[in-house]
Amino acid sequence: MTQGTGQLTGGSNLTLQASSSTPAVTADWEQGVLSMVGESYPENTYEIFDDIISWVELYLHECERPLRVELQLNYLNTSSIRAMIDIFDRLQAAFDAGRTLSVSWLYDSRNPRSAEMGEEFKEDYTFDFEIAVFND
C-alpha cells in the first residue's frame, strides 16, 4: 500500500488521507477503481494530483482491465478542475484506443453546484459519464 508521494509502480494501490482542502483518495489496482471523496482546493494541486495522475497512467499502460472512476466531490477550485481535466483527457485517450472505462460523478442532493460541475466536465468527453445523487 502506497501512502502517496512515493514512487508508484505497476500493481500499487494508492491511498491519500483527506485534509481540509484535499479529498480522500483510494486507487485499487486489483479492483480497477479510483475513488475521490471530499473537497479539493489545495494551493498547489501537484500535492495530490501528481500521484493520482501517475497511478492512472500506470494503470492504463500496464494492464488492460476496465477502470471505474468514482468521484464524490463537493467543491473543486479552478486549479483542481484543471488537474481533473488532465485525468479525464487520459481516460478519453484510453477510451478512444478501445479501453473499457467509466466515470461516476456522485453529488449531494443539497448541493446543485456539484451536479453542475459534473455536467460541465461530462460535455467534453464521450466515455460513459454518469451523474447521480448519492443521498436521495
Partner 1 sequence: MTSTLTTHRSLSSLRDFFSTERILICFNGPTSRTLISEIGVALKEHIESSSESVSAAMDVFSVYIEMSQNIRHYAGAMAYCDADATATVVIAETSDGHYVVSAGNVVQVGDGASLVERVTSLSTLDKSGLKALYKEQLRQPRQEGARTGAGLGLIDVARKSSAPLQCSLDELGGGKAFFTIRATI
Residues contributing to the site for partner 1 (CB under 8 A): 20-21, 41-43, 74-75, 77-79, 81-82, 85, 110-114, 124
Cβ at position 73, least distance to partner 1 in Å: 12
Instruction: Answer yes or no: are the C-beta atoms of 101 and 70 closer than 8 Å.
Output: no
Instruction: Answer yes or no: are the C-beta atoms of 5 and 51 closer than 8 Å.
Output: yes
Closer by beta carbon to partner 1, 27 or else 87: 87
Instruction: Answer yes or no: are the C-beta atoms of 20 and 26 closer than 8 Å.
Output: no
Q: Which of 78, 96, 83, 17 is nearest to 56 (CA)?
A: 83
Cβ at position 32, least distance to partner 1 in Å: 28
CA–CA dist 51, 119 (Å, integer): 25
Could you identify the residue written with the cell 468527453? Answer: 125
Three cell numbers at 92?
Answer: 478519453
Closer by beta carbon to partner 1, 68 or else 90: 90
Closer by beta carbon to partner 1, 7 or else 44: 44
Cβ at position 76, least distance to partner 1 in Å: 9
Closer by beta carbon to partner 1, 61 or else 82: 82
Cβ at position 96, least distance to partner 1 in Å: 17
